[in-house]
Amino acid sequence: MDGRGILRGLAVTFKHFIASYVDDFRRLGKRYFTQEGVLYRSSPQVEGVFTIQYPEERRPVPENFRFIPFLVYDEGPNGEKEIRCTACGICAKVCPPQCIWIVRAHDPETGKPLKKPAEFYIDVDICMNCGFCAEFCPFDAIIMDHDYELATYDRFATNVFDINRLLKPASYYQQIRPTQYALKAAEREKKAAAKAARRGKAA
């Protein structure tokens, strides 16, 4: 009990204090407000100050990051939106807080159900960002987004996303999740090829 323990502890604090300045000088001009600096400050090599000055600086989110799902559409040759969703309802059935509402489309003449959603709602107030819907979608039609800045003033007016709000192009999907996109596209091509081969055999 002679205070040596405290002094040794203070030495650690002092080292941290010095390190923050040393590192600032060593990386002068590169440490703050640059992409390189942001990456450095979230790497295992970082010494000194960790803080990222949001919103001026943003940490890039990893590909697996998930936040609020969106629906994917492919762009047709004339710019029409080909919605991938077939209204099979798996996402609504697996959703833990039950925040997905789907109305299946019907053929206006025959009244038979179509493989298309007429309406699609996600109540983002209820969504818990678990990502099950995207994980179990067999058509790669619902994907977890990377856009996490959704603050609004009136949740009743804005936080139930309908199909128009939810649709985003496949190019956006490819941009935020390149690895997954390539993997799933290859899978789909393989499946389509197998199907074509089967059909060829049958004919």
Least separation, in Å, of the C-beta of 77 and other proteins?
30
**Residue 76 to residue 80: CA distance in whole angstroms:** 5
Nearest to 168 by CA among 110, 127, 122: 122
Enumerate residues 32-71 that contact other proteins by CB under 8 A: 42-44, 46, 50, 61-66
Closest approach, Cβ 96 to other proteins, in A, equals 4
Residues from 152 through 181 that contact other proteins (CB under 8 A): 156, 160, 179
Closer to other proteins at the Cβ: 47 or 74?
47
DSSP state, 29? T
> Which residue is it, tokens 């179509």?
114
Structure tokens at 99: 């925040």
- One-letter amino acid for residue 101 of the chain: W
- Name which of residues 83 to 122 contact other proteins (CB under 8 A): 87, 89-90, 92-96, 98, 100-104, 113, 119, 121
Q: How far is the CB of 55 from other proteins (least distance, A)?
A: 18
Task: Residue 132: name the closest of 84, 187, 175, 92 by CA.
Answer: 92
CA distance 90 to 41: 41
> Which residues contact other proteins by CB under 8 A?
1-6, 8-9, 12-13, 16, 42-44, 46, 50, 61-66, 87, 89-90, 92-96, 98, 100-104, 113, 119, 121, 123, 128-132, 135-136, 144, 156, 160, 179
